[in-house]
A and B are shown apart, each in its own frame.
Chain A
């Protein structure tokens, strides 16, 4: 195990952590009724890997992300980050949500600084905030307030706010879902570039099959609620990928079939 993870670390020259999801089931109590959302999900993600979770709407993908983030505890099963059990939120696993959820009372700079401030290390490491704002290309907006930003810019700030913590696992909950299609394509390339540069492990939830195929090393297809793993598909294609690549088109057809949508092909 140790040997293989070391081998992986060489494959991805990375700071990423290994993520182990083992026999995880989860359910919600809604008005006295138990609503199962995850059914015995097991998944191992290698350090530095980019994994996309695809599944029908409401199948429990986002719940799985909340468990990975440590915002909730699973009813059964365990989640581990680098062999250490996940018991609560930690800045090594940062989530970027579908809504940027920037704090409207903080400027761009202060929003990005949030993590370092919460951990009490901002004073010594202010340059990290500047660097990451530079990285997402928003240096001239560092003093702007969230209401002055466009949707794409706000989501970039949210990304910077996550990245400033140098996360080992970046958890993305449909982060591009609400952007217009052009901004979305541009942000997909930026995301791949950031991931390749930083080497964090990435877990992405998306509705968009094409997005999953353009971004991820591996695509996990989930079933209807309660979610089970239906397929685990490797996307063995170098970056940058092309949307018209026949190999990806083939995979897309196969995945749409798994999701019960082959008629749309």
Chain B
């Protein structure tokens, strides 16, 4: 009996010890390496002199070393930091890769100019844009959000209502479907020249174009969603005493929602494209305009800075849309995680 228990215990203990050991070297090792990568980034900023004239090199180097210290501290006290510790451990490989990337970037641009210079600005130049040109950048961000949000909401609402009407009523379908087929596939940007002289302001013209770019996919997907609802659902609802309004609001629309969200997602993508083009060509504000302006002054650091912000905004908008969908469509199995 005792021999059994002893051998059992040792057999059970051996793999567990191995697991914790590999865990140790694995998680701590990567965290340590990530910390070192950021330390290397910081030191590379401070050790060599810049080949150009940038004012934020010193603070960037110090900032990188502070980040390295945080990673180091977080790695070794992850077990006591709860959720934040776990999150850090999970992202340690990414922190390592990113630290290595910025180090390489720093060396290739500011220190040894392996990449041709005004076109590939170093990290400190981009940091400089965020610190010194912040008001203008923020103004552009707000202008873009305002324009995008207005156009998107108008387009999504009209697209949704049109889609439901076509899907529900044959009469509406008869009249709207040909128009949709004629106008819909046209890229919204093709309307740009006409829109800018027919609308009273470039802002209203751009809103119209963004709404158009959003509206088409939302209409088509909503329509196909409503049209594909199984008749069995309507039969069930009708025998339970449902009136036509109930059939539309409580059967057709909820059943079509998964399709609607695909349309909203596609509309978001195409409306971003229209937003940037409209801002570059007509509207004198927004991130698209900022990009155009930066290019005019050959301010490449500003362009990269604006691109990063734009990417974060677009990605954030899609995240928001997917979160909304996940909340509304909890009843679905296996939805795509963004």
By a beta-carbon cutoff of 8 Å, the part of chain A in contact with chain B is 69-71, 89-91, 93-95, 97, 99, 101, 103-107, 114-115, 117-119, 145-147, 161, 165
Contact = CB atoms under 8 A, between A and B. Distances in A.
B246 A145 contact: no
B241 A91 contact: yes
A105 B329 contact: yes
Nearest to A98: B232
Interface of B: 230, 232-233, 235-243, 246, 250-251, 254-255, 257, 329-333
Nearest to A88: B238
B249 to A, nearest CB: 11
A103 B254 contact: yes
B257 A69 contact: no
Contact of A103 (B233, B235, B243): B233
A93 B232 CA distance: 16
Given A101-B233, A118-B246, A147-B333, A91 B239 contact: yes
Contact of B240 (A94, A99, A145, A146): A94
A32 B247 CA distance: 30
A119 B243 CA distance: 8
Contact of A115 (B240, B332, B333): B240
A71 B254 contact: no
B232 A114 contact: no
A94 B240 CA distance: 6
Contacts of A103: 233, 236, 251, 254-255
Nearest to A107: B331
Given A117-B250, A118-B246, A147-B333, A101 B236 contact: yes
Contact of A97 (B236, B251, B329): B236
Contacts of B233: 101, 103
23 contacts: A69-B235, A71-B239, A89-B239, A89-B241, A90-B239, A90-B241, A91-B241, A93-B239, A94-B239, A94-B240, A99-B232, A101-B233, A103-B233, A103-B251, A103-B255, A105-B254, A106-B331, A114-B237, A118-B243, A118-B246, A118-B250, A161-B240, A165-B240
Contacts of A105: 254-255, 257, 329, 331
Interface of A is mostly: loop
Contact of B241 (A71, A99, A106, A119): A119
A69 B239 CA distance: 7
Among B238, B240, B333, max chain A CB count under 10 A is at B240
A145 B331 contact: yes
B232 A115 contact: no
Contacts of B235: 69, 71, 95, 97, 101
Nearest to B241: A91
Nearest to A69: B239
A71 B238 contact: yes
B250 A97 contact: no
A99 B232 CA distance: 9
A46 to B, nearest CB: 22
Contacts of B230: 101
B238 A89 contact: yes
A103 B229 CA distance: 11
A71 B236 CA distance: 10
A91 B331 contact: no
A103 B235 CA distance: 12
